[in-house]
Structure 1
Amino acid sequence: MNILVVEDEPKLADVLRTYLEAAGYAVRWVDNGLEVMDVVAQWAPDLVLLDLMLPGRDGLDVCRDIRARTRIPVIMVTARTEEIDRLLGLELGADDYICKPYSPREVVARVRAVLRRFETVPPTAQLEAAGLLVQADAWQARLDGVVLDLTPVEFRLLALLASQPGRIFTRDQVLDGLYDDHRIVTDRTVDSHVKNLRRKLAEVRPGDDLIRSVYGVGYRLDLPADAS
């Protein structure tokens, strides 16, 4: 699989390339934000490892552009550890983040975990109810016939909630469904994914709050019987 490393520090990029190639990945390196989209379009990487602080163009802007055009998984790499930066990266569509300084082995493990989540198809290949269609094998979801532009994490969240409409999924159950590598993820991160998914559903069906937050418990998907 192809991994695009976007890192402006040559020594760090060389270390990442060495470890990723040893793990069996093909690697290309870009050292500034201006070249990323051309390489994404021409090389079609399976995952982008994207530094936040880049010359030419900020990593958050690049992440926003990648997510607007493709569903390629993105792992943000940052030395800015404030919670708002982490959440901002996730809200823009990043699938994970790694804080500097990091272990190259940890980076390889995160790459494997994100790619595994992206490739894993939920047990039910297709779910359809009340105008919502979730096609796991195609990684596509439609609401009232409109294709939803979802990140991989948002798709997994929707597939989980849609597997049993009306059921309340606890935060722990949501975390287990989204992240299978037992990382520490804050409640605010989960809320961020729910907020983004709720907004995208509301863009298609204004006025309907399809994802309900049950205070102190978790979340459920409400699909009105007369919505089909």
Structure 2
Amino acid sequence: MDRIMLIEDDSVIREELSILLQSNGYEIVLPDSFTAIFEAVRRYIPHLILLDINLPGQDGFQVCSKIRTFSAVPIIFVTARNTDMDELNGIMLGGDDFITKPYNTSILLARIASLFKRAYPSKEKDVMAYRGVILHLESSRVEYQAQLTELTKNELKILAFLFRNAGRIVPRADLVEYLWDNQLYIDDNALSVNMTRLREKLRQIGLTDFIQTKHRQGYMI
């Protein structure tokens, strides 16, 4: 399910948006507070953010700019501020769209759907699933029971290779060759380091024994 984070200080608008979006099939998440926005973005890993400009503490422009230092998540400004300069600032600082309040709900939903298509053009093709674990290839994330974590390039490649060979033992040499093309120039320890980091990320979302080690043979899921 597509996950949208609402960063909006007006409780009435926040509730209306939550109801509207949930009724249209979106999962809604909120930051715990306006001082913990960036922690919430990292924790929930939303697929899209709806961001107001007039926020307590720091404005939406500052929030957008800081999010862009660690995430490329699509951001739509939804705000009562409607000058050309506001819209220009929003786009220049990393926003993907700009909608002014009061908004037409049908247009808002259409803009959200359009941005999802642009941001995730191959989403349905780039999803793998096994034993309740969902691997999002396009966004380099793994999901289990609504918990997500982001993967590095090598971690994603390891997990995708194991998914494609689910139920079978994958030799370490095959993984090394797949990851680095020429295993002669790679220390075998490099695979162990990547595997340890991947297992720790899986453990953090509740997957303690998803990748099994087969002694002197390799790995399997």
> Which of the five TM-score ranges fits, normalised by the shorter chain?
0.5 to 0.7
Deviation of the 1:106 alpha carbon: 2.3
Maintained 8 Å contact 1:7/1:32: no
Matched AA of 2:28: V
Deviation of the 1:33 alpha carbon: 3.7
Maintained 8 Å contact 2:49/2:76: yes
Shift >6 Å, 4+ stretches: none
Maintained 8 Å contact 1:78/1:100: yes
Structure of greater Rg:
2
Matched AA of 1:58: D
Higher relative contact order (CA 8 A, sep 6+): 1
In the alignment, what sits opposite 1:58? 59
In the alignment, what sits opposite 1:112? 113
Matched AA of 2:87: R
What RMSD over aligned residues (CA atoms) do the two structures have, in Å? 1.9
Task: Decide whether aligned partners of structure 1 residues 41 and 115 sit closer, same or farther in structure 2, where only a CA change above 3 A counts.
Answer: same
Maintained 8 Å contact 1:52/1:77: yes
Alignment partner of 1:87 is 2:88: yes
Task: Provide the rounded CA distance (Å) in 1 between the counterparts of 2:31 and 2:102.
Answer: 20
Task: Decide whether aligned partners of structure 1 residues 11 and 75 sit closer, same or farther in structure 2, where only a CA change above 3 A counts.
Answer: same
Task: Provide the rounded CA distance (Å) in 2 between the counterparts of 1:106 and 1:54.
Answer: 24
In the alignment, what sits opposite 1:40? 41
SS at structure 2 position matched to 1:75 = strand
Q: What percent of counterpart residues are identical?
A: 35
Give the TM-score taking structure 1 as reference length.
0.51
Maintained 8 Å contact 1:6/1:31: no
SS at structure 2 position matched to 1:69 = coil
- How many residues were matched structurally? 124
Deviation of the 1:30 alpha carbon: 3.8
Give the TM-score taking structure 2 as reference length.
0.53
Alignment partner of 1:78 is 2:86: no
The unaligned stretches of length 5 or more in structure 2 are: 123-136, 140-221
Deviation of the 1:82 alpha carbon: 1.0
The unaligned stretches of length 5 or more in structure 1 are: 122-136, 140-228
